[in-house]
Chain A
């Protein structure tokens, strides 16, 4: 398993492996963090801190516990939530709860670097509202199945199957 070898090298403090993993996941982490903090500079700071933290606590990860990506996204969500709860964080001017992640993607007009954004923008525009909600809560906000079922007022089992269908839809659009 190639990824597992990479992670294992990273855990042995292999800098090259670290950089490879950074290149694989840093944009995803920045996306998740930005969706929570809604501030470019703060999101970048938090993302960098996340990778610094990951380097320092690499030993605490075990593939038995879950995916490396999942481990990383967990650190990111927690760091972002810690940030918006911190005293230094000013909510003023930041749109924290009205928009879903899709709205951010839709607003990505002016971003010159993001070559893949245009294609994705087209796809996510087709995602159903109920899919956007469930993906937002489970992947971007880190809700448990139970929390998501309470928030969306639907049975736990429905969350599981709906999420499966929504991810399938997404995969169809992204062709993975």
Chain B
């Protein structure tokens, strides 16, 4: 290759500027090792640029090296004393450093603590949310039941039978809503007192001539049911409904002395 022509091309100036590609840089490096005159040219270009750029420097830089060494924690020219940047004895950089470390450490602990607190709070909120969901579910079910009940009560074929209080408990009352199509009776027993321990209310379907009672079942969960509404099956041709207080488990036939309420079915047809 023509060395002179290569130099004249201006590529070495660009090499020093650092604008060539990595591949070109490697090629030039290989050439520099082979041709000393190329290396000599590069050194001269570099020298010119070093001088030019240094001329732009607003200050001398020798005194700035001490701080660089300190930051790197290295020690050169131990025998030549270097002008210290900080007065000896006032090693407040170190104190500030330790103080900062302490502050950061405490800060981190505080953050960890805050983080844990927040996690606890999230857990609490999650639990609350689950409880609310359960409650909501319950209300939603209650609402559905109520709607079903209203739909049932509004049906035009429902026969409403008021049951009046009898001798043993004149203030008692109850209501029966009888749907003959579905053979269902909804019994509203809110007007009955709590049954005493060991006793249950038993519901009877009655035909009057002759008087024949048929048990429709006992109300076992009277106390625990909030709205005191009970749905029972009734496929009988009832002419009246009665509620008696019976020993737990119910009786074969009604104990008439303990007849709490009684009401006749109004014959509409």
Which residues of A does B touch, CB under 8 Å? 1, 15-16, 18-19, 22-32, 34-35, 40, 43-44, 47-48, 51-52, 55, 63-67, 69-71, 73-74, 101, 104-105, 108, 111, 113-114, 116-117, 120-121, 124, 135, 138-140, 142-145, 160-161, 163-164, 167, 170-171, 174, 176
Contacts and interface: CB of A to CB of B under 8 A. Distances in A.
A170 B25 contact: no
Contacts of A43: 58
Interface in B150-196: none
B98 interface: no
A79 to B, nearest CB: 14
27 contacts: A22-B61, A23-B65, A26-B61, A27-B57, A34-B56, A40-B58, A51-B65, A64-B25, A64-B26, A65-B25, A67-B18, A69-B50, A71-B18, A73-B18, A73-B53, A114-B57, A121-B55, A124-B52, A142-B17, A143-B19, A144-B19, A163-B13, A163-B17, A170-B48, A174-B47, A174-B52, A176-B51
Contact of A174 (B16, B51, B68): B51
Contacts of A28: 49-50, 53-54, 57
A40 to B, nearest CB: 5
A167 B47 CA distance: 11
Given A22-B65, A22-B68, A65-B26, A31 B14 contact: no
A141 to B, nearest CB: 10
Contacts of B65: 19, 22-23, 26, 51
B14 A27 contact: no
Given A19-B76, A26-B65, A30-B61, A171 B56 contact: no
Interface string B45-83: 111111111111111111011011101101111000000
B129 interface: no
Interface of B: 8-11, 13-20, 22, 25-26, 29, 39, 42, 44-62, 64-65, 67-69, 71-72, 74-77
Nearest to A107: B58
Nearest to B28: A66
B55 A138 contact: no
Contact of A176 (B48, B53, B57): B48
A69 B51 CA distance: 12
Contact of A171 (B44, B55, B62): B44
B67 to A, nearest CB: 6
B21 to A, nearest CB: 10
Nearest to B47: A176
Contacts of B75: 15
